[in-house]
Structure 1
Amino acid sequence: MTVEIFIPCFVDQLYPQVAFNMVKVLEKVGCKVSYNTNQTCCGQPAFNAGFWGESKDVCSKFMKDFAGADYIVAPSASCVGFVRNYYPKLFDTAANHKEVVALGQRTFELSDFLINVLKIDDVGASFNGKATYHDSCAGLRECNIKKEPRQLLSKVKGLELVEMQDVETCCGFGGTFAVKFEPISIAMADQKITNATDTKAEYLISTDMSCLMHIDGRNKHNNAGLQVMHLADVLASGW
């Protein structure tokens, strides 16, 4: 199976190891991975900031870059959720609306793809430690991902997974929300960190580096002692 990968802007610029580890996992389970170097952004930042026209231009480029791909996999439920849920709204009166909807149906977050497309939940990973998992808003509410990452993590040898209180509550990032409503955003991140540390977990895992980036900023500021890890980093460990 050939899989086209989409690498979000902030992963490309700040957390490239997440992308490399996703490729490592996909190849381990038998996928042929293809990376289109012309790819840029999915268009979400401009859309969230209210620049719908500019966002639509970026979305059109995304559709061109991934035209003909059987499957598109990304290490970000946020980007996947945007492609699936908001592309059809941006192009609701366009002649290619059916193609836009079909593109969303071929676009998957990593855990969703592994569990629901490949039907694989054990990639042979091992990671010694105690961890808790954060449900990103995009993963939970836009991609309907809940059990998938937990099922994958349950198969990681040596990993103890514990649930934190209010696990489905937002971390406070929300893209531009963190800029426009900084005090509220900080308080939400601090509450998330408190809930995570109350479990005595050493690691906080999620499908979205955007959430983890925000949480880790407050984590380091408060010297809370948590280590944040993307799901792909855990799944690529121990082999």
Structure 2
Amino acid sequence: MKVGLFIPCYVDQFYPQVAIATLELLEKHGCEVHFPKNQTCCGQPMANSGFEHLTHGCNDLFVKNFTGYDYIVCPSGSCTMHIKEHLGVPQLAAQCYELTEFMTDVLHVNDLKVRFPYRVGLHQSCHGQRGLKIAQMSELNAPPFSKVEQLLSQVEGLELVTLDRKDECCGFGGTFCVSEEALSVRMGQDRVYDHVRNGTQVLTAGDMSCLMHMEGIIRREKLPIKVMHLAEILNGAKVGVTEPVA
């Protein structure tokens, strides 16, 4: 299985450990992973700001970089959804998967063989949940499901924290956090303090952009919560967090 590894530009610049964890995780589960070195931004920030007509260069480069693979895998729901909804190349859109949906729907992973003995709070990012349908929305009268929780349940020692409101937006929203800074921060505080109230030790999500937003609040307010991408936990990362779960 030949996989093209699609790494969001902000992950490449600020969170390379997430890219490395994604690479290692895919290789552990039998994928032949390739990383096109001249990939750049997918164009999502421009499209989100109303300038999709300026993304043609990003689109052309993405097609050039990722044509020829069996699958394209990305550790970001928002960037994945942008490619699937806005690239305009049906074949590549069908081949593009967010990491956790790829692991559940294509690789059918059912035994991760990793241990992470901490209380983990899961943030359900909007693009993954409502766009890619990775988890059911709580406002619907429908059977619940979560592909992310399906994977986390395989991690030995992990205790998934029950939140008061488990699928509200964190307020990041890409360029929304710039244009509506005060509202974005307040929404982020609401999400973070839900985790604080319920004893989260490690806050995780499938979108590092959401985690970046909430980590800024956690650091500024000196809260005792560690932030990690799902790929790091599923890959068996080691982390120094106090009071591990017995």
**TM-score if structure 2 supplies the norm length?**
0.90
1:64, CA displacement in angstroms? 1.6
The correspondence of residues 81-92 of structure 1 with structure 2, limited to 5 A, is: 81-88=81-88
Q: Find the aligned partners of 2:29 and 2:186 in 1 and give their Cα distance.
A: 40
* Counterpart among 99, 109, 113 of residue 124 in structure 1: 113
Q: Find the aligned partners of 1:59 and 1:45 in 2 and give their Cα distance.
A: 13
Q: Per the alignment, in what secondary structure is the counterpart of residue 117 of structure 2? A: strand
Query: Structure 1: which 5+ residue stretches go unaligned?
Result: 89-99
Aligned to 1:39: 39
The correspondence of residues 63-82 of structure 1 with structure 2, limited to 5 A, is: 63-82=63-82
Aligned to 1:228: 227
Q: Find the aligned partners of 2:55 and 2:32 in 1 and give their Cα distance.
A: 30
1:238, CA displacement in angstroms? 5.8
Aligned to 1:92: none
2:209 counterpart of 1:210: yes
Q: What amino acid is aligned across from residue 40 of structure 2 in structure 1?
A: T
Q: What amino acid is aligned across from residue 159 of structure 1 in structure 2?
A: L
Q: Per the alignment, in what secondary structure is the counterpart of residue 185 of structure 2? A: helix
Moved more, 208-217 or 221-230: 221-230
Q: Find the aligned partners of 2:75 and 2:235 in 1 and give their Cα distance.
A: 13
Aligned to 1:3: 3
Q: Per the alignment, in what secondary structure is the counterpart of residue 101 of structure 2? A: helix
Structure with greater helix share of residues:
1
Count of aligned positions: 228
Q: Per the alignment, in what secondary structure is the counterpart of residue 11 of structure 2? A: helix
Over the residues paired in the alignment, what is the CA RMSD in angstroms?
1.2
Q: Find the aligned partners of 1:238 and 1:39 in 2 and give their Cα distance.
A: 26
Q: Per the alignment, in what secondary structure is the counterpart of residue 128 of structure 1? A: coil
Aligned to 1:115: 104
Q: Find the aligned partners of 2:171 and 2:185 in 1 and give their Cα distance.
A: 7
1:193, CA displacement in angstroms? 0.7
Q: Find the aligned partners of 2:111 and 2:154 in 1 and give their Cα distance.
A: 5
Aligned to 1:52: 52
Q: What amino acid is aligned across from residue 31 of structure 2 in structure 1?
A: C
Q: Percent identity?
A: 42
Q: Find the aligned partners of 2:45 and 2:147 in 1 and give their Cα distance.
A: 26
Query: Structure 2: which 5+ residue stretches go unaligned?
Result: 136-145, 239-246
1:72, CA displacement in angstroms? 0.3
Q: Which runs of 4+ in 1 moved over 4 A?
A: none
Contact between 1:29 and 1:123, CA under 8 Å: does it hold in 2? no
Q: Find the aligned partners of 1:205 and 1:102 in 2 and give their Cα distance.
A: 31
Q: Per the alignment, in what secondary structure is the counterpart of residue 133 of structure 1? A: strand
